[in-house]
Amino acid sequence: MRVTFWGAAQTVTGSMHHLEAAGKQFLLDCGLYQGRRHEAFERNSHFPFPVSSIDGVISMVIESDGVRLAFSGDVGRKHLPILRDPVSPDPVDYLIMESTYGDRFHRPVADVASTLADVVNRTAGRGGKIIVPCFAVGRTQQLVMILHQLMDAHRIPSIPIFVDSPLAVNVTEVFRKHPECYDEETKKFLEEGDDPFGFSRLRYIRDANESKALNSLHGPFLVLSASGMCEGGRILHHLRNNIEDPRNTVLITGYQAEYTLGRKILNGDREVPIFGEPMPLRAEVVSLDALSGHADQNELIEWMRPLAPRLKKVFLVHGELAQGAALAEVIRKEFNLDVQQPSRGHSFLLN
């Protein structure tokens, strides 16, 4: 078995690992690279191998000649809304694991609702708008449910909330159809006859004209829109129309890759480029990373602990170089394992 790392190698986005086993070729993930615009265009337009040679794309555990390999994907966190907590796979020989937050520790998930309530109350109090760049799969649905709970508990004012992303709207319908995947908290919503993804002040928007109409709507209100790293989609229009107003807030709810617009906003750059035009960033910027779909250093160590006794090697991907290096050091000390941070195009023979 041979694995070659083509994406998310010493960086976060573009996850793609080429696996050759038992005469077949597979991809573990086939993600979109985000970063410098020209480089992103080139990487996303051209595969580094003949696409016709690939037999399939898979996501978790391939076995060949008695060698077992696990790929973590996004490990996730315990106690996040909606989905059940992550569990470790069965023992394997090799592990490919994310390292996005390998050098840091998240605030407790229990703090999320209070932080979100503070942001909404503070912004609404000054008549502003809360602009939320939001990943369409998972993050949008989590935030909708928390906002639902906060509004039911009268912890935030009854302001309009919009989900302005056709993909997020479609994904939410998929979530609705699979209650068997919910955690206990979300199941309780259903048992009480409530819809976790729908309430009176929430509106889902598909039509482009309805999206544009939000630009002339006075605050306070909250809009969740893709893309989560602000590299495309309707969120760019909302940012262009709102980041110059100090009454407004941009709420960052997930990882922002290096060189993306989301990273520039998170860094608090005085000016940020939107549609090629530099715009002054005067809105308040708040980060809410406790909802991240990526485990922190402690959570990653605990997730892999049951696997450690059998492991021959660990490959850290989906993380910038410094984050992966910090996690690698902890893994070596904790488990005395061989840990690699492969670079793009680096191959390993697994036996």
pLDDT tens sequence across 24-37 = 999 999 999 988 88
SS (H, E, C) the chain: CEEEEEECCCCCCCCEEEEEECCEEEEECCCCCCCCHHHHHHHHHCCCCCHHHCCEEECCEEEECCEEEEECCCCCCCCCCCECCCCCCCCCCEEEEECCECCCCCCCCCHHHHHHHHHHHHHHHCCCEEEEECCCCCHHHHHHHHHHHHHHCCCCCCCCEEEECHHHHHHHHHHHCCHHHECHHHHHHHHCCCCCCCCCCEEEECCHHHHHHHHHCCCCEEEEECCCCCCCCCHHHHHHHHCCCCCCEEEECCCCCCCCHHHHHHCCCCEEEECCEEEECCCEEEECHHHCCCCEHHHHHHHHHHHCCCCCEEEEECCCHHHHHHHHHHHHHHHCCCEECCCCCEEEECC
Pick the CATH number of 2-105+293-349 from 3.30.420.40, 3.30.70.980, 3.60.15.10, 3.30.70.1560: 3.60.15.10
pLDDT of residue 64: 64
Q: Partners of 87 in the beta sheet?
A: none
pLDDT of residue 22: 86
The predicted-structure confidence for 323-347, as pLDDT tens digits, reads as follows 999 999 999 999 999 999 999 999 9
pLDDT of residue 65: 66
Q: Is the pLDDT of residue 97 over 90?
A: yes
pLDDT of residue 193: 79
Mean residue pLDDT of the chain comes to 92
pLDDT of residue 63: 61
pLDDT of residue 98: 96
Q: Which of 79-93, 96-110, 318-332 has the highest mean pLDDT?
A: 318-332
Range 134-153 average pLDDT: 91
Which pLDDT band, with edges at 50, 70 and 90, does 184 fall under? Answer: confident
Range 186-197 average pLDDT: 83
Counting residues of the chain whose pLDDT is more than 70, the rounded percentage is 98
pLDDT of residue 60: 60
Range 187-206 average pLDDT: 87
Q: Which two tokens stand for residue 237?
A: 């229009």
Q: What is the third-level CATH fold of 111-291? A: Rossmann fold (3.40.50)
Predicted TM-score (pTM) of the model is: 0.81
Could you tell me the CA-to-CA distances from 336 to 91, 103, 305, 308, 332 in Å, in that order?
17, 18, 12, 9, 4
Counting residues of the chain whose pLDDT is more than 90, the rounded percentage is 72
Q: Which two tokens stand for residue 331?
A: 């893994």
Kindly list the domain boundaries of the chain, sorted by start residue: 2-105+293-349, 111-291
The predicted-structure confidence for 232-279, as pLDDT tens digits, reads as follows 999 999 999 999 999 999 999 988 988 999 999 999 999 999 999 999
Range 273-291 average pLDDT: 93
